[in-house]
Structure 1
């Protein structure tokens, strides 16, 4: 067998051995199963507000001393600098922003944050930048995006919810404070970051239904 043929045979052998190694490793180290979670904080779409408020209160009734992830929804939006007034020093993982405009659909902007009140307060800048960077495809959505980003950048009272971590006693104390509409807790075994969040918006008084989108978009 000449040299070129030997080189080709050697290459083929290497390819076969590599394929066998991949198969063996696949058996020895099976792929990690995807994390699937049905945990959710906030009302379901269309859920009556009274029913959700009852559910939120019920979620705080247990007597364990474990930490729980929870959603705090406000009676009316607050400015980001006031977040520490309502979080009572608890660990915050997400701040939810919503710019309410009469009969104009606007997005809920969720900003994940590391520990510390300072980063939660500063998250309004991230919210404004996130909205400003979104792609739009028609004049109305462009005008809505620009208006929402401008109001967030100006520090509007648009914080509508925060996700935080505390014991049920701590969460019950928060729920009793003025300005807090609801606190809903997940079970203690819920994993961080693998649950859905949809805050109860201040303007949702009857049901958690989408805002009509048939009104004029203001200039500012």
Structure 2
């Protein structure tokens, strides 16, 4: 009889705990409403799938004309691909946060199978005053991108140096006036800004 009572009390306690758990779940769900579309970022930089280079350039130019006065994230693309010094000459003191390297960089003309690789994006850490500068940070990032491409190609690699003409795009943070000034440089194909409320890491980037 005692064992039956103990088992009964155990079942009752289990039911109480389970019901309590369900109550907590319901309360938490009520107090934490589902995210609205405003909190889900769909921002992107660069052409969308199927968009021609000309159409993208026109869309980027329209966005640039309405670029905000406050600093925002923007994609600069280069045609033809630029060298490190050319990128730094264009951007000046503007912070570069990501570089996109031509996926064909380092491929030999006879290696058609290995030439077609996706462009390689690499994020840049902020330069450390007194330790390195913007050029150094960009050179390190491009070297890293080339190293990753080299890993994919294996022996099919020509030892391309980081100062190659292989930068197809960079993501920068600048205000509209600065972006419009940058866009006037020779070699800059497009300068596309995002809205000033865009958050780093919550938008897609495709240079071409």
TM, length-normalised to structure 1: 0.68
Structure 1: segments with no counterpart, 5+ residues:
134-144, 201-220
Q: How far off is 1:122 after superposition?
A: 1.8
Q: How far off is 1:169 after superposition?
A: 1.3
Q: How far off is 1:146 after superposition?
A: 1.4
Please list the CA deviations of residues 33-76 of structure 1 after superposition, one character each: whole Å capped at 9, or x if unmatched: 47444433223344343333333333322375222321111123
| 1:88-107 correspondence runs (5 A) | 88-100=92-104, 104-107=115-118
Counterpart for residue 198 of structure 2: 190
Q: 1:25 to 1:186 in 2, by over 3 A?
A: closer
Q: How far off is 1:168 after superposition?
A: 1.5
Structure 2: segments with no counterpart, 5+ residues:
128-133
CA contact (8 A) 1:160 1:199 kept: yes
Aligned length: 189
Counterpart for residue 14 of structure 1: 17
Give me the CA root mean square deviation: 3.2
Please give the secondary structure, in 2, of the residue aligned with 1:59.
helix
Alpha-carbon separation, structure 2, partners of 1:147 and 1:83: 28
Please give the secondary structure, in 2, of the residue aligned with 1:2.
helix
TM, length-normalised to structure 2: 0.71
Please give the secondary structure, in 1, of the residue aligned with 2:48.
coil
Q: How far off is 1:8 after superposition?
A: 3.6
Q: 1:28 to 1:153 in 2, by over 3 A?
A: farther
Please give the secondary structure, in 2, of the residue aligned with 1:89.
coil
Q: 2:121 aligns with which of 96, 107, 110?
A: 110
Q: How far off is 1:192 after superposition?
A: 3.1
| 1:152-171 correspondence runs (5 A) | 154-155=161-162, 156-171=164-179
Question: Which structure is larger by alpha-carbon Rg, 1 or 2?
Answer: 2
